Amino acid sequence: MAREIAVVDEVLQQEASTTAIMTHGNLMALILKHFDDCIGYIEWEKLSNPDVYRVQFFNGAIYLERMIFF
């Protein structure tokens, strides 16, 4: 998990206000768990293909939102 979080941390140091990071489900679940300890096996099992999550950082708070596309 440390390697992927290092990439996310590097992206967060950039001046861009919006960034897309693409990965596979296993790695995405680990990244999401880093930001929300409630993410676990059940959430990993529910991942679809494709799946999109929005992670927002605002005033020290982190917001996770699963984006649903039909």
Q: What is the predicted pLDDT for the residue at 70?
A: 63
Asked whether the predicted pLDDT for residue 15 surpasses 70, the reply is yes
Domain of 52 in residue numbering reads as 2-67
Asked whether the predicted pLDDT for residue 1 surpasses 90, the reply is no
Percent of the chain with pLDDT strictly greater than 70: 99
Number of domains making up the chain: 1
Q: Mean pLDDT over residues 16-40, rounded?
A: 92
Q: What is the predicted pLDDT for the residue at 42?
A: 94
Asked whether the predicted pLDDT for residue 38 surpasses 90, the reply is yes
Q: What is the predicted pLDDT for the residue at 66?
A: 93
Residues 53, 30: contact at Cβ < 8 Å? no
